């Protein structure tokens, strides 16, 4: 992930000297869907998301862009409609750092139209690291604790999940040409991941005695937190081996918000073939 961002930043000054490029800015919210929040799309518990990138128009309808996005996701069992899951009382937060290359298809030509819907899809990598706080406000990262028995001899199939993984971004939106250099847009971008551990919850409850011996009392306390509730119990309502999460469904995260594209280069805009179009043809081309 770090190498990707370094390459991206090293390429940026070179790209700015070329005509036909745009700077892209993004601001909005991030959210997730997983074992602590099962709705596919919601703004409940949404957090901030920001991004920046560069884009190049291949022709009037297709563009490519490179983006670096930052977002925060979180969820808490106390908002769950299922009483049993509320009694589980788990919660998490995580930062998301993402780098991607995306292709954009516009349905209309922004040389002649003021606005256009569009689709976007690509490939990237992202980093995440779920954490929580105890009742005293102390912060603990969850992956090293192996709360579901990762790394224990009793669960040889459960390995520690990787915190940098592949992601497939896709989505769409609407863009509006403001003037010769600026294009605004509203975009919703879903992220298909290949992990069920954005929230550190996936499979079944590990044996608390084995977890205690291998990982210590903190791992046991954060695997099931019903005792933190009023009249709650430290003994899970679910026996060892019962369902804690749903591994058959991978977690998702998504961004939505406003994009701003600023066209670079001096003088009038260059055409899609790289030649000057002249002031009489100087219609904004989009995008993002």
Predicted TM-score (pTM) of the model is 0.83
Inter-residue contact 51 to 76 (CB < 8 Å): no
State whether residue 42 is helix, strand or coil: coil
pLDDT digits (tens, 9 = 90+) for 72-122: 999 999 988 888 788 889 999 999 999 999 999 999 998 899 999 999 999
Please tell me what DSSP assigns to residue 161: P
List the one residue out of 214, 215, 209 whose CA is nearest residue 235.
Answer: 209
What is the radius of gyration, based on Cα positions, of the chain? 23
Q: Using the predicted structure, report yes or no on whether residue 282 has a pLDDT greater than 50.
A: no
Output 268-275 pairs: Cβ under 8 A, ≥24 positions apart.
268/180, 269/19, 269/180, 269/181, 270/19, 270/20, 272/20, 272/57, 272/58, 272/59, 272/60, 274/19, 274/20
Would you give the end-to-end CA distance of the chain in angstroms?
A: 23
| 9: helix, strand or coil | helix
pLDDT for the residue 237:
56
pLDDT in tens, 192-218: 999 999 999 999 999 999 999 999 999
Residue 183 near residue 114 (C-beta atoms within 8 A):
no
CATH number corresponding to 2-131+160-197+251-281: 2.40.160.20
CA angle 38, 94, 40 (to 5 degrees): 20
Domains of the chain, by residue range, sit at 2-131+160-197+251-281
Tens of pLDDT, residue by residue over 152-190, are: 999 999 999 999 999 999 999 999 999 989 999 999 999
The Cα 187–Cα 190 span in angstroms is 10
pLDDT digits (tens, 9 = 90+) for 24-73: 999 999 999 999 988 878 888 899 999 999 999 999 999 999 999 999 99
Instruction: Report yes or no: 169 and 191 within 8 Å, Cβ to Cβ.
Output: yes
């Amino acid at each position: 992930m770090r190498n990707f961002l370094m390459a991206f930043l090293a390429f940026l000054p070179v790209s700015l000297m070329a005509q036909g490029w745009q700077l892209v800015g993004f601001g909005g919210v991030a959210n997730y869907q997983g074992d602590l929040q099962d709705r596919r799309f919601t703004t409940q518990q949404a957090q901030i998301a920001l991004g920046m990138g560069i884009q190049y128009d291949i022709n009037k309808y297709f563009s490519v862009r490179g983006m670096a996005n930052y977002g925060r996701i979180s969820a808490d069992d106390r908002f769950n409609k299922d009483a049993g899951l509320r009694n589980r009382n788990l919660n998490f937060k995580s930062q998301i750092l993402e780098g991607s290359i995306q292709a954009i298809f516009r349905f209309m030509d922004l040389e002649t139209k003021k606005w256009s819907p569009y689709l976007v899809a690509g490939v990237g990598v992202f980093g995440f690291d779920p954490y929580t706080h105890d009742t005293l406000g102390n912060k603990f990262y969850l992956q090293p604790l192996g709360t579901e028995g990762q790394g224990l001899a009793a669960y040889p199939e459960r390995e520690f999940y990787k915190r940098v993984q592949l992601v497939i971004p896709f989505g769409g939106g609407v863009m509006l040409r403001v003037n010769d250099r600026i294009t605004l847009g509203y975009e919703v971008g879903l992220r298909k991941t290949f992990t069920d551990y954005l929230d550190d919850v996936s499979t079944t409850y590990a044996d608390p005695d084995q977890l205690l011996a291998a990982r210590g009392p903190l791992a046991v306390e954060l695997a099931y937190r019903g005792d933190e509730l009023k009249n709650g119990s430290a003994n899970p309502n679910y026996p060892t081996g019962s369902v804690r999460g749903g591994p058959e469904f991978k977690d998702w995260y998504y961004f939505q918000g406003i994009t701003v594209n600023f066209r670079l280069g001096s003088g009038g805009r260059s055409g899609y073939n790289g030649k000057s179009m002249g002031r009489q043809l100087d219609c904004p081309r989009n995008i993002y």
